[in-house]
Amino acid sequence: MSKTRKRKTSKKWERVDGRKPDELRPIHIESGVLPNADGSAYIEMGRNKIMAGVYGPREMHPKRLSKPNQGVLRCRYHMAPFSVDPRRSPAPSRRDMEISMVMRDALEPALFLERYPRSVIDVFVEIIQADGGTRCASINAAAVALADAGIPMKDLVAACAAGKYENNLILDLGDYEDKKGQSDMPLAYMPKFDKVTLLQMEGIMTQAETDEAIKMAVEGCKKIYEIQKETLKKKYGMVQGEAAAAEETPEEEPESPEEPTEEDKPAEEEEQ
Amino acid sequence: MSNNIVSKLKRKKIEEVIKTGKRMDGRELLQYRDWQIKTGFLEKSEGSAEVRLGKTHVVVGVKAGIGTPFEDSPDEGVMMVNAEFTPIAHPTWEPGPPPDEAIELARVVDRGLRAAEVLSMEELGLVSGEKVQMVFVDLYILNYDGNLIDACSAGALAALNTAEIPDLKVSKGEITQTDKKKKLKLRAHPIAATVVKIGDEFIVDATVDEEEIMDGRITVTLDENGNVNAMQKMGAIGFSVDEIKKCINIASEKAAEIRAKVMAVTNG
């Protein structure tokens, strides 16, 4: 590794996977991956492999859980039995229930629930493989899935953890760093409003380190936010192009029947 | 949080009063209700504490037992924290499986204790991979008037700090009971303090009415050296980074005050 980096890497210390202290794991997000769901997203964040699906707004069952003046956001975080070592029971654990709660609190500020009285928006997250930081990766996928479902949002929600490992502050803890580290602090953030919507922490950090870790996690979230936006643009860029082409075509036809541009072709084919 | 018409009116009133720098019960914004902490009042538990914080009333029982260790830590004892929302504590609480709030309460208190490494888990190991001492911390809510996390966190620390568990002898994989008891050695004394946001104001030690209408809250658990051991943000709002810092500062000051009260009772 070259040592000419201007960023201060703390001496010769290296992370287990060779990342810089403030470097995220590789992230790949895809949207619209579940045909049955209203919106969906698949995320790979390091070796985390997570599927998020959104159903709704739809009628709430059971009805008594609905609210007369606003919609309800319901989250379910669930791990596949084979997602971790050793195998875990598929029954929801106390941990799963808590994560479901904090995920809801993290995502709800981004929604206009007052628009959906008596309804529910269900967010289901299935952890196919866990590699540390699953709750953050789940929030990243869920936010994209909500947008993919066409649900109006104030902003996307991006999440990642910061923590302390071998006395160094690091970003986006992997499984090993999470388990052997000194502290772990998952955080979710809405960049447009500069608001933190998920904050948890476990471990031992001074107050100054805590402040620093929060800053670090917020910066990480901003990077993830860009990836989320790119994911959505990639999918809707195509749809938008088609829609624009379809709108232009009927207007142009009566006046000057020009040759269809390349963009028009796929749109016309789709309509027939 | 809840959205019926009564709580909207309630919210308006509580917010109005809070804007004047006072609370409905006359307290300052950053003032706790009176703490009453009593320990060692149960004979059949290894440790116990009763905490009254205003009208909030919780009992914490510590029981020790022998069990099997987790696969990934064959030599370490096991500590478990569980919260029980009893139906006598509030008119809307019903018997049945624990609600999400009870799970969160137990896990937030647990996380504070665990992260601060309060108990030396290795000392609770008996026979590697087979038998370890278990420490169960049960948070029992008898009357609910808000701020359960702080009350239970203080109660758990008080109960653990005064607990005496059986001093077991181990020879050749055989465990024998002795008449002797030994104090649980605590390596740190973490305390949770919860800061509640209502409108633009921050308050501590919210009552049930204030909790019902709050926007959100942040619980920060700190040890006696001022280190942060655990944090938990709750409620469907976002906090700015500066607001979080403010909450940590408030919690840091309040946790020290609460710890002094707990230690005064338990170090007698």
A228–chain B Cβ distance below 8 A for any pair:
no
Nearest to B240 among A94, A194, A206 (CB): A194
Fold of B7-266: Ribosomal Protein S5; domain 2 (3.30.230)
CA distances B54 to B29, B88, B90, B257, Å, are 15, 17, 15, 16
For chain A, give the secondary structure using H, E and C: CCCCCCCCCCCCCCCCCCCCCCCCCCEEEEECCCCCCCEEEEEEECCEEEEEEEEEEEECCCHHHCCCCCCEEEEEEEECHHHCCCCCCCCCCHHHHHHHHHHHHHHHHHECHHHCCCEEEEEEEEEEECCCCHHHHHHHHHHHHHHHCCCCECCCCEEEEEEEECCEEEECCCHHHHHHCCEEEEEEEECCCCEEEEEEEEEEECHHHHHHHHHHHHHHHHHHHHHHHHHHHHHHHHHHHHHHHHHHHHHHHHHCCCCCCCCHHHHHHHHC
Question: What own/partner pairs with CB < 8 Å and gap ≥ 24 does A241-248 have?
Answer: A241/A267, A242/A266, A242/A267, A242/A270, A243/A267, A246/A270, A246/A271
Q: Are B131 and B67 in contact (CB under 8 A)?
A: yes
For residues A96-121, give the mean pLDDT: 97
A22 inside domain: no
Nearest to A97 among B100, B235, B248 (CB): B100
A1 pLDDT more than 60: no
Question: What own/partner pairs with CB < 8 Å and gap ≥ 24 does B167-170 have?
Answer: B168/B66, B168/B126, B168/B133, B170/B126, B170/B127
Q: Give residue limits of the domains in chain B.
A: 7-266
The total number of residues shown for chain B amounts to 268
Label residue A5 by pLDDT band (50, 70, 90). Answer: very low
Label residue A257 by pLDDT band (50, 70, 90). Answer: very low
Q: How far is Cα A103 from Cα A139, in angstroms, rounded to an integer?
A: 7
Find chain A residues with C-beta within 8 A of B5's C-beta.
none
Q: What is the pTM of this model?
A: 0.87
* H/E element, B26: none
**Numbered residues of chain B with Cβ closer than 8 Å to any chain A Cβ:** 3, 71, 100, 103-104, 106-107, 111, 114-117, 216, 218, 223, 226-241, 244-245, 248-249, 252
Which 3 state secondary structure label does DSSP give B226?
Answer: coil
For residues A200-219, give the mean pLDDT: 97
Compute how many other C-beta atoms are within 10 angstroms of the C-beta atom of residue B120: 14
Inter-chain contact B104–A101, Cβ cutoff 8 Å?
Answer: yes
Q: Which amino acid is at B171?
A: S
Q: How far is Cα A95 from Cα A143, in angstroms, rounded to an integer?
A: 21
CATH number, position A71: 3.30.230.70
Tokens of A111: 């929604």
Q: How far is Cα A180 from Cα A175, in angstroms, rounded to an integer?
A: 9
The total number of residues shown for chain A amounts to 272
- pLDDT for the residue A250: 60
The beta-strand segments (E) located in B87-227 are 125-127, 131-143, 164-166, 169-171, 174-176, 181-183, 191-198, 201-204, 216-222
Per-residue pLDDT of chain B (268 residues; tens, 9 = 90+): 444 567 788 899 999 999 999 999 999 999 999 999 999 999 999 999 999 999 999 999 999 999 999 988 999 999 999 999 999 999 999 998 999 999 999 999 999 999 999 999 999 999 999 999 999 999 999 999 999 999 999 999 999 999 999 998 888 878 888 888 999 999 999 999 999 999 999 999 999 999 999 999 999 999 999 999 999 999 999 999 999 999 999 999 999 999 999 999 998 5
A117 inside domain: yes
A67 inside domain: yes
- pLDDT for the residue A11: 57
Nearest to A67 among B3, B233, B240 (CB): B3
Find chain B residues with C-beta within 8 A of A69's C-beta.
3
Find chain B residues with C-beta within 8 A of A215's C-beta.
241
Q: Are B222 and B229 in contact (CB under 8 A)?
A: yes
A254 pLDDT more than 60: no
Inter-chain contact B244–A105, Cβ cutoff 8 Å?
Answer: no
Q: What is the DSSP pairing of strand A27-31 with strand A168-171?
A: unpaired
Find chain B residues with C-beta within 8 A of A204's C-beta.
115-117, 223, 227-229
Tell which phi-psi region holds residue A230, choosing left (phi > 0), alpha (psi between -120 and 50) or beta. Answer: alpha
Inter-chain contact B239–A196, Cβ cutoff 8 Å?
Answer: yes
Q: Which residue has the tokens 């799963």?
A: A96
A25–chain B Cβ distance below 8 A for any pair:
no
For residues A129-135, give the mean pLDDT: 96
Burial code (b: 16+ CB inside 10 Å, e: under 16) for A192-204 equals eeebbbbbbbbbb
Alpha-carbon distance B109 to nearest alpha carbon in chain A (angstroms)? 11
- pLDDT for the residue B53: 97
- pLDDT for the residue B5: 65
A83 inside domain: yes
Alpha-carbon distance A257 to nearest alpha carbon in chain B (angstroms)? 54
Label residue A264 by pLDDT band (50, 70, 90). Answer: very low
Find chain A residues with C-beta within 8 A of B237's C-beta.
109, 195, 197
Q: Give the chain B residue whose CA is nearest to the CA of A107.
A: B236
Q: Give the chain A residue whose CA is nearest to the CA of B233.
A: A199
Range from A94-98, A243-247, B69-73, B246-250 carrying the lowest mean pLDDT: A243-247
- pLDDT for the residue A251: 53
DSSP secondary structure, B38-80, as one string: EES--SSSSEEEEEEETTEEEEEEEEEEEEPPPTT-TT--EEE
Q: Which amino acid is at B69?
A: P
Q: Are A154 and A112 in contact (CB under 8 A)?
A: yes
Q: How many domains does chain A have?
A: 1
Q: What are A170-198's pLDDT values in tens digits?
A: 999 999 999 999 999 999 999 999 999 99
Q: Using alpha carbons only, what angle is made at residue B143 by residues B137 and B145, rounded to the nearest 5 degrees?
A: 110
Please report the ipTM that was assigned to this predicted complex: 0.87
* H/E element, B36: strand B35-39
